[in-house]
Amino acid sequence: MSKIKQTQRPPRHRGPGGMGPVEHAKDFGGTIKKILVTLDREKYFVIAAFIFSIASTIFAIYGPKILGNATQKIYEGAVAKISGTGSIDIGRVHAILKSALLLYVISAFCNYFQSYLMSIATQKYTFRIRNMMEEKLHKLPFSYFDNNQRGETLSLFTNDVDNMQICFNQALTQAITSITTVIGVLVMMISINVQMTLVALLILPLSLIFVINIVKKSQKYFALNQTNLGHVNGSIEEMFSGHNIVKTFNAEERMLKEFNKSNKNLRESGWKSQFLGGLMHPIMISISNLGYVGIAIVGGWNIIKGNINVGNLQSFITYSKNFTQPITSLAQVFNQIQSMVASAERIFEFLDKKEIKENKSAYELPEIKGDVEFKNVSFGYDDTKIIINNFSAKVKSGEKVAIVGPTGAGKTTMVKLLMHFYDINSGSILVDNHDINDITLSSLRSNISMVLQDTWLFNGTIKDNLKYGCPDATDQEVIIAAKQANVHNFIMTLPDKYDTIIDEETSNISQGQKQLLTIARAILADSKILILDEATSSVDTRTEELIQESMDKLMDGRTSFVIAHRLSTIRNADLILVMDKGDIVESGTHDELLKKKGFYANLYNSQFEK
């Protein structure tokens, strides 16, 4: 496929600790419900993953308590040995350590199964979502493509689905793990000593105060950094894509100064944001260390009073370390979930778009001769602004109809209506007396070949591109079509001839050669109705003459609609429709329109007055 310049949304940036600016969904609750509904097929995988995640966390939480018991046994044995009243019960210590090891092994296995099940659920879910989006894409009316940027739609299929996949796989299980850890650790700390638990809890508001202040100051620099990064990327893109112009006008120094200015701004905002963001971790460690000091003091006092033992103190310190981490993780996970829901919301908005409505009683179009009739057709892209008013025309099989007019006159609109890309406001369009509203879209379009002004070739061999509209064509039929389009000789000069790979950017063939290949593709389709939309606009004069000669042979016996700026190519048309400002202002043959000395005559003479 020829490369499309994508218009992507700005990078989604998060501030320090994942607490910076993040996208928010318009309807968080409603989108969550839609996710749960569409997740119906994978719900058992997700439920099982959550159960294993909770089990893994519970087993891991109970581990420090058992290790504390081992420490206490060693301490008691050491004291007894020093006093001469006993010794360390190594067997008992080994038994306790084995039970702790078993718990951690079970926790690891539960975590493994959780990751395995969640990966399966995530991949199955996103696989279905992508399929649903792909199916939806083919059912959307052309008004969607007119009103939406291609880059934005591509971003839905890539950025948003990938964001959902990553967050769904990581954030949801992390949220369950963090919540379970916080609750479990808190219960274990309370069970050991309430006073020390209160000391540990005092760390939270103190940490929160520092985090909020740092985030407030760093947010503006992180946001400014993204803006400056965009300016630098834009400057590089301009210099790269327009390097010929830059060199032609000796603008290297001026462009370099502009780049240095943008790069300097990026450096200033970059070091400030990174410095403030980097403060988060050492400050949190310092506050945590203050908490440990408080816990050690209160714990020592409780040991002296006999409220707890040494093993309990060790377990509690371990729990206090594990208490603040999941809370910080929850803040990060919440931002990830917000981002995931925002992406999901855009995807569901896309999936809810209005589809092309095909008549339920539509039937397959039988073999046709190629008669086309526009009967009192009125149409407007906007209901309040009708651009084609009560147009009627009869085109017999084999006739050549030319549609001319200045750029933006609406020439392509007529053939789009024939292809049923849009629904007309009133009137009817008939193909061999079959109303296009009463026949299936696939059978209608299979009887029409179209060569667009904008060429489109996909990444593959020349042969595969030519057979796109007729997959069952033989190699001989492909060669005949290529010869009729005067592109066979060019193909034979290529290293692999018809098996030559056209790369993604089609940079290995010229624009004119691409146009010739699309014409050969239309010839091979061998449809009764042919549409040429500025088919020779990108071809030099000599090539145009060759194409015109082959086009005359191709159009013989076929109903042809030709859109062209070069009026010299359509003088022999059976009917010429002259359009201006979206309306048909004149119609007739070339000679008839010249005699009228109207709009067409002025348009024609202006091209040849020199």
Read off the pLDDT of residues 209-252 as tens digits, 9 standing for 90 and up: 777 777 677 767 776 776 777 778 777 777 777 777 777 777 78
CA pseudo-torsion sign 450, 374, 145, 511: positive
Instruction: Tell whether 165 is covered by a domain.
Output: yes
The pLDDT tens digits for 363-373 are 888 888 888 88
Mean pLDDT of 153-166: 82
- Distance, in Å, from the CA atom of 578 to the CA atom of 552, rounded to the nearest integer, reads 21
- Distance, in Å, from the CA atom of 610 to the CA atom of 605, rounded to the nearest integer, reads 9
Task: Report pLDDT for 310.
Answer: 85
Instruction: Tell whether 498 is covered by a domain.
Output: yes
Task: Report pLDDT for 15.
Answer: 44
Instruction: Tell whether 457 is covered by a domain.
Output: yes
Instruction: Tell whether 389 is covered by a domain.
Output: no
Quick one: what percent of the chain has pLDDT higher than 70? 88
Co-location of 406 and 286 in the same domain: no
Co-location of 36 and 128 in the same domain: yes
Q: Which of 454-463, 532-541, 594-603 has the lowest mean pLDDT?
A: 532-541
Task: Report pLDDT for 553.
Answer: 67
Q: Which single residue is written with the structure tokens 């919301």? A: 345
- For the ranges 138-147, 181-190, 451-460, the maximum mean pLDDT occurs at 181-190
- For the ranges 102-111, 420-429, 530-539, the maximum mean pLDDT occurs at 102-111
Task: Report pLDDT for 106.
Answer: 92
Co-location of 254 and 147 in the same domain: yes
What global pTM score does this model have?
Answer: 0.68
Task: Report pLDDT for 503.
Answer: 67
Q: Is the pLDDT of residue 6 over 50?
A: no
Mean pLDDT of 103-108: 90
Greater confidence, 347 or 210? 347
The pLDDT tens digits for 361-413 are 888 888 888 888 888 888 887 777 777 777 788 888 888 888 888 776 667 77
Instruction: Tell whether 514 is covered by a domain.
Output: yes
Co-location of 322 and 457 in the same domain: no
Q: In this structure, how many other beta carbons lie within 10 angstroms of the beta carbon of residue 426?
A: 11
- Distance, in Å, from the CA atom of 449 to the CA atom of 432, rounded to the nearest integer, reads 17
Q: Is the pLDDT of residue 208 over 50?
A: yes
The chain-wide mean pLDDT, for the chain, equals: 79
Co-location of 101 and 178 in the same domain: yes
Mean pLDDT of 196-208: 80
Helix (H) or strand (E) holding 379: strand 372-379
- Distance, in Å, from the CA atom of 362 to the CA atom of 163, rounded to the nearest integer, reads 40
Q: Which single residue is written with the structure tokens 């005067």? A: 486
Q: What CATH code is carried by the domain that includes residue 133?
A: 1.20.1560.10
Instruction: Tell whether 368 is covered by a domain.
Output: no
Task: Report pLDDT for 30.
Answer: 82
The pLDDT tens digits for 546-569 are 666 766 766 777 888 888 777 767
Mean pLDDT of 147-175: 80
Co-location of 461 and 575 in the same domain: yes
Co-location of 316 and 410 in the same domain: no
Q: Which of 99-113, 181-195, 224-238, 336-350 has the lowest mean pLDDT?
A: 224-238
Q: Is 206 helix (H, G, I), strand (E, B) or coil?
A: helix
Greater confidence, 83 or 371? 371
Task: Report pLDDT for 575.
Answer: 87
- Give the number of domains in the chain: 2
Q: Which single residue is written with the structure tokens 């970059």? A: 270
Query: Residue 179: which residues within 8 A CB-CB, separation 6 or more?
Result: 326, 330
Task: Report pLDDT for 505.
Answer: 55
Task: Report pLDDT for 608.
Answer: 62
Instruction: Tell whether 489 is covered by a domain.
Output: yes
Q: Is 440 helix (H, G, I), strand (E, B) or coil?
A: coil
The number of CA neighbours under 13 Å toward the Cβ of 591 is 2
Co-location of 336 and 452 in the same domain: no
- CA nearest to 564, candidates 401, 372, 449, 393: 401
Task: Report pLDDT for 582.
Answer: 64
The number of CA neighbours under 13 Å toward the Cβ of 380 is 9
Co-location of 326 and 408 in the same domain: no
Ranges of H-type helices in 352-450: 411-418, 441-445
Q: Which single residue is written with the structure tokens 């993953």? A: 49
**Residue 584's beta-bridge partner residues?**
579
Instruction: Tell whether 32 is covered by a domain.
Output: yes
Q: Is the pLDDT of residue 16 over 70?
A: no
The pLDDT tens digits for 245-299 are 777 777 788 888 888 888 888 888 888 877 877 777 777 777 777 887 888 888 8
Mean pLDDT of 70-93: 77
Co-location of 545 and 604 in the same domain: yes
For residue 278, give its domain range: 28-351
Residue 508's pLDDT band (cuts 50, 70, 90): low
Q: Could you tell me the two tokens for 206?
A: 């103190």
Q: What CATH code is carried by the domain that includes residue 467?
A: 3.40.50.300
Task: Report pLDDT for 22.
Answer: 53
- Would you give the DSSP letter of residue 392? E
Greater confidence, 451 or 304? 304
- Distance, in Å, from the CA atom of 358 to the CA atom of 383, rounded to the nearest integer, reads 20
Co-location of 34 and 111 in the same domain: yes
Q: Which single residue is written with the structure tokens 């004149």? A: 586
Co-location of 332 and 239 in the same domain: yes
